[in-house]
Chain A
Amino acid sequence: MTKVTMTVNGKSVSADSEARTLLSEFLREGLRLTGTHVGCDTSQCGACVVHVDGLAVKSCTVLAQDVAGAEVRTIEGMANADGSLGVIQQAFQDHHGLQCGFCTPGMVMTAASLLKDNPKPTEHEVREYLEGNICRCTGYHNIVKAIMAASGQDVSAIAAE
């Protein structure tokens, strides 16, 4: 066991870590930040996406000890300072971009990464960027819509209702 220290959602934190401890385990079991979910064993589903030093990564594929000292941001750090939903989170609620909620943390973290790189993505670009995030509930329609709305684009034309 080694004590690993990193900054998570702006706070310096430490927890014990084995060499094989994954970042997802470190967050969920070490820090009890259980908003980051694990939905597969092969780095496909994307429920575990967090930001490490500003980059979206699948935390089930990163060893905790390898990111000692890093700045990590999780779904628990995405709300506004006053506790209200952030822009992306609010868009997901407004446009019904989630159902069971299990893939949602990863979707929100991936969406934040997309909009940082590409502030006004097209529908096609959003769909391409979500390649590594699987949702079984929504059919993606409302996720894509929510992300485009969060980017400030008018989504009424793709309401498709």
Chain B
Amino acid sequence: MPKDHGIGASSKRREDVRFLTGKGVYTDDMAMQGQVHAVMVRSTVAHGKIVSIDTSGALEMPGVLAVFTGEDFVEVGGNPAGWLIHSRNGEPMREPKRPVLAHGKVRHVGDAYAAVIAETYAQAKDAAEAVAAAAQIAELPAIIDMKTAVADSSNRVHDEIPDNVCFDWGWVEDNRAAVDAAMKAAPHVTTLELVNNRLVPNAIEPRASIGEYFPGTGNYKLTTTSQNPHMTQLLISAFVLGIPEHKLTVVAPDVGGGFGSKIYHYGEEALVLAASKKLGRPVAWTAERSESFLSDAHGRDHVTKIEVGATLDGEILAFRTETLANVGAYLSNFATVTPTFLHGTVMAGPYKVPHVYVNLKTVFTNTAPVDAYRGAGRPEATYSLERVVDKMARELKLDPIEVRRKNLLTPDQFPYTTPVAVIYDTGNYQATLEKSLELADYDGFGARAADSAKRGKLRGIGLSTWVEACGLAPSHLVGVLGARVGLYDAATVRVNATGSLSVMVGAHSHGQGHETVFAQIVADKLGIPEENIDIVHGDTSKVPFGMGTYGSRSLAVCGSAVTKAVDKIIAKGKKIAAHMLEAAEGDIVFENGSFSVAGTDKSKSFGEIAFSAYVPHNYPLETLEPGLEETAFYDPGNFTYPAGAYLCEVEVDPETGKVEVVNFTCADDFGNVMNPMIVEGQVHGGVAQGIGQAIIEQTSYDADGQLLSGSYMEYAMPRADDMPMFTVDHSCVTPCTHNPLGAKGCGEAGAIGSPPAVVNAVIDALQRGGYTHVTHVDMPLTPSRVWQAMQG
């Protein structure tokens, strides 16, 4: 019988009611008193020297209040990278300044070099066109292709960086010689060169920000579309504008999706704050969709050569990769950790492979910055691994499923230290593999393929077995690896005098359902109804310092902080109860929402204890403070390691090359699950993004750096009719051993595990259909690419 409340119940989401009735409040829904509007002036060339920006004409236009350029921000700081990575030779990465507005040069199409503030949006937009018309920008040759960027030092994105390389990284560098030797000795080596295609995250709510300055107090408030308002506050305070942290509040209200793109601090946020101070008016900016395409941080964009060394019966001996990873024109906040420690640390996959070495160069180009997008580094690793293992199996004429069975880590090997320096705490990869085969009716594939053939279609099935590292992150470890922040999270549980609760959390919900799930956890532990609990998030003036939501961390990290804070409430409640019940503290038991003396019928309800804490007439005041409010910070002891097996079935139309995903089956191990309905929804969404990457989504720049896929007219977003119904299972549970919930996280799994399953399925369909020369097609597998591959 499924639970109907608390941990493990599919509680309906409380936030849905406001979203379904149009009462959600997103940033652009707000209208501050006296609000004026900002429009950014963006470069139309990929690379150019700013010769002059004549703003005089724009300043004369109706309603225009101010025009800002890069000159106005020369005296302030820049937007930093959050991780310092060192190259193999020990040198620190090259870290060019990222200003609020471009100064001296523009470095990608969409790079903002000026901003107009006017009474109305339309007036600001008109004046922005006038600024653009009066600006003189001398176009320079664009640096777009990574291989060319690295080879040609005559053309530089940043003048001080001769080869356009940010760093040249090895992981683990000490493994290099052993891997080279293992590869040389291997009876078989399979090599695959592949592209992990650049994606635009495309949260449906465009970025938006409102800056407010309050002259009476000298305080600032930024309302913004953020996944982690505290980091934005810290960056603006400590690095960009120097506003003292205690004078700046950052609020992220309802946020319409993020997928990584709203983790980062962007220049527009600093701009609206600075403009508000200058003008004494709230300043609002909302991106048009075309601006989202041009200026949101993009994702992926790796070019990789991967090799696997194996025995002739398919035992994996070594993996070796060389990758060029695009970081775009500037370093976005997580741009340096995404291709390194979120990628290299999972390059052993779920396999008992003894030797792994990853070499990766990050390259500056005249394109939009690239940063973490759902999965962030782990999809790139998983795609490389699962494609090359499949190719190896085919070359050796082995069943790809048997090759997985042979190489997957076994349950008795945990905890397992990988050759890429992380420790998987728990897992049962056989269980998820066998579960996926059962749920997908693998044995019935032949009959389904025959049916497809009758309809003139080629059917294929593809597998991906994967493990990821998430629940970011143990601060002691990431500090050693170069992180410039800690990655704990925090929660405050405030029991009100009447026994209801306000729980303030550092994680931010923008679709994940925290308001429901965190209330389930608290209700379960305290034995009180979920509706008596309110979850507060997204306001730095209300919630304790948290690190926000990304990296599938909200439950594993912030949920653990919530759990710890509730434990403190119970511990204090026991002290109060012991006094009221005239018993020893050690004899007090807390169960089902009441404190009782063990072995007696004497008890006090949770509400009575709460009331006593705030009306302390009968209370141990000499030893215990009144009130019932506790804060806990939780810093994880390790990453968490969700894992799973995904099976994809496709039909390929041999006449057109069109790929249709007809079945998709997921068997995941997320550790303990709090709300199955929400977990399944997270997997659905992640898989859809992975299928989108695999078959339709592509970000294209031409040789001049013009973005060819700059709107929904050109960038293929997955529609309802691109997707099948998904089969999703999370019954194979190996609980995380190092957090109190036993939870591993589920937000990114779908996007990590699915792309190689899709591509493997298409290759399988083509091979079965007789197109045996097709061993790889780069994503996205559009009809033209598949058809051309079939033609040889």
How many of B's residues come within 8 Å of A, CB to CB? Answer: 62
Write out the residue numbers on chain A whose beta carbons fall within 8 Å of the beta carbon of B22.
33-36, 74-76, 78, 105
> A100 at the A/B interface (Cβ < 8 Å)?
yes
CB-contact partner of A100 in B511, B717, B719, under 8 A: B511
Q: Is B214 located at the chain interface by the 8 A CB criterion? A: no
Q: With an 8 A cutoff between CB atoms, is A127 at the interface?
A: yes
- Binary A-proximity of B6-24 (CB < 8 A = 1, otherwise 0): 0000001101111111111
| A contact residues around B206 at 8 Å (CB) | 39
- Name the residue of chain A whose CB is nearest to the CB of B727: A160
Query: How many angstroms between the C-alpha atoms of A136 and B255 in the bound complex?
Result: 13
B182-222 CB mask vs A (1 if < 8 Å, else 0) is 00000000000000000001111110000000000000000
**Cβ of B24: which chain A residues have Cβ within 8 Å of it?**
35, 101-102
Q: Which of A76, A99, A105 contacts B681 (CB 8 A)?
A: A99
B167 within 8 A of A: no
B648-683, CB under 8 A of A: which get 1 and which 0?
A: 000000000000000000000000000011101100
B489 partner residues in chain A, CB cutoff 8 A: none
Q: Contact between A139 and B204 (Cβ–Cβ < 8 Å)?
A: no
> What is the distance, in angstroms, from B586's C-beta to the closest C-beta of chain A?
44
Determine, out of B468-476, B684-692, B757-765, the stretch whose residues face the partner at the interface. B684-692
Report if A41 contacts B (CB, 8 A): yes
- Taking A75-B21, A79-B21 as contacts, is the C-beta distance between A93 and B204 under 8 angstroms? no
Name the residue of chain B whose CB is nearest to the CB of A133. Answer: B720
Q: Which residues of B contact A78 (CB under 8 A)?
A: 20-22
Q: Which residue of B lies closest to A147 (CB)?
A: B720
Considering the complex, give the chain B residue whose CB is closest to the CB of A140. Answer: B720
Q: Does A137 contact B (CB under 8 A)?
A: yes
Choose, from A42-50, A51-59, A61-69, the stretch at the interface: A42-50
Q: Which of A36, A99, A105, A130 contacts B685 (CB 8 A)?
A: A99
Q: A42-B289, A103-B204, A135-B204 are in contact. Are A93 and B712 (CB under 8 A)?
A: no
Does chain A have a CB within 8 A of B726?
yes
In the complex, what distance in Å separates the CA atom of A74 from the CA atom of B290?
26
Which of B12, B687, B712, B750 is in CB contact (< 8 Å) with A94?
A: B12
Q: Is the CB of A45 within 8 A of B289?
A: yes
Task: Enumerate B289-336 residues with CB–CB distance to A below 8 Å.
Answer: 289-290
The proximity string for B residues 585-609 relative to A, scoring 1 for CB distances below 8 Å and 0 otherwise, is: 0000000000000000000000000
A44 near B713: Cβ-Cβ < 8 Å: yes
| Interface: B450 (CB within 8 A) | no
The distance from the CB of A84 to the nearest CB of chain B, in whole angstroms, is 10
A32 within 8 A of B: yes
CB nearest neighbor in B for A46: B204
Q: Kindly list chain B residues whose C-beta atoms are within 8 Å of the C-beta of A160.
A: 725-728
Judge whether B574 is part of the interface by a CB distance below 8 angstroms: no
Against B, the Cβ 8 Å flags (1 = close, 0 = not) of A117-161 are 000000110111011011111111111100000000000001011
Whether B687 and A139, one on each chain, are in contact in the complex, defined by CB atoms closer than 8 angstroms, is: yes
Give which listed residue, B254, B676, B685, contacts A101 with CB less than 8 A.
B254
Q: Mark B720-743, 1 if CB is under 8 A from A, else 0.
A: 110101111100000000000000
With A40-B712, A130-B721, A160-B727 in contact, is A98–B20 under 8 Å at CB? yes
Contact A126/B720 with A96-B678, A100-B205, A160-B725 known, Cβ cut-off 8 Å? yes
* B26 close to chain A: CB less than 8 A: yes
**Distance between Cα atoms of A137 and B202 in the complex (Å):** 10
Nearest to A129 among chain B residues (CB) is B720
Instruction: Give the nearest-CB partner of B202 in chain A.
Output: A136
The answer to whether B16 and A92 touch across the interface, beta carbons within 8 angstroms, is yes
Judged by a CB distance under 8 angstroms, whether B174 is at the interface is no
Q: What's the minimum C-beta distance from B770 to chain A, rounded to whole angstroms? A: 30
B256 at the interface (CB under 8 A from A): yes
The majority secondary structure among interface residues of chain A is loop
Residues of chain B within 8 A of A96, CB atoms compared = 12-13, 677-678, 680-681
A148 to B29, alpha carbons, bound, how many Å?
31
A138 near B685 with CB under 8 A, answer yes
Mark contacts of B269-291 with chain A using CB atoms, 8 A cut-off: 1 yes-contact digit, 0 otherwise.
00000000000000000001110
Contacts of A89 in B (CB 8 A): 20-21
| Cβ contact within 8 Å between B719 and A99 | no
Q: Given A93-B12, A99-B685, A130-B720, are A161 and B680 neighbors across the interface (CB < 8 Å)?
A: yes
The docked-state distance in angstroms from the alpha carbon of A39 to that of B257 is: 11
B288: which A residues are within 8 A, CB to CB? Answer: 41
Contact among B12, B290, B510, B684 for A141, CB-based, below 8 A: B684
Q: Which residue of B lies closest to A74 (CB)?
A: B22
A139 proximity list for chain B (CB < 8 A): 684-689, 718, 723, 726, 750
Contacts of A161 in B (CB 8 A): 676, 680, 727-729
- The interface residues of chain B lying within 8 Å CB-to-CB of A75 are 20-22
List, in ascending order, chain A residues with CB within 8 A of B725's CB.
123, 141, 144, 158, 160
A134 nearest in chain B by CB position? B717
Tell which of A44, A74, A105, A137 touches B511, judged by Cβ atoms closer than 8 Å: A137
Q: Is B627 an interface residue (CB 8 A)?
A: no
Q: 23 A–B contact pairs at CB < 8 A? A: A34-B29, A37-B26, A37-B256, A39-B206, A78-B22, A93-B12, A96-B678, A98-B20, A100-B203, A100-B204, A100-B510, A101-B18, A104-B19, A123-B725, A127-B720, A128-B721, A131-B721, A136-B717, A137-B685, A138-B684, A138-B685, A139-B689, A140-B718
- Given A35-B23, A123-B725, A139-B723, 9 more pairs with CB closer than 8 A: A20-B122, A92-B20, A99-B257, A101-B16, A101-B20, A102-B24, A104-B20, A128-B720, A141-B684
- A-to-B contact residues, CB < 8 Å: 18, 20, 28-29, 32-42, 44-45, 47, 74-76, 78-79, 85, 89, 92-94, 96, 98-105, 108, 123-124, 126-128, 130-131, 133-144, 158, 160-161
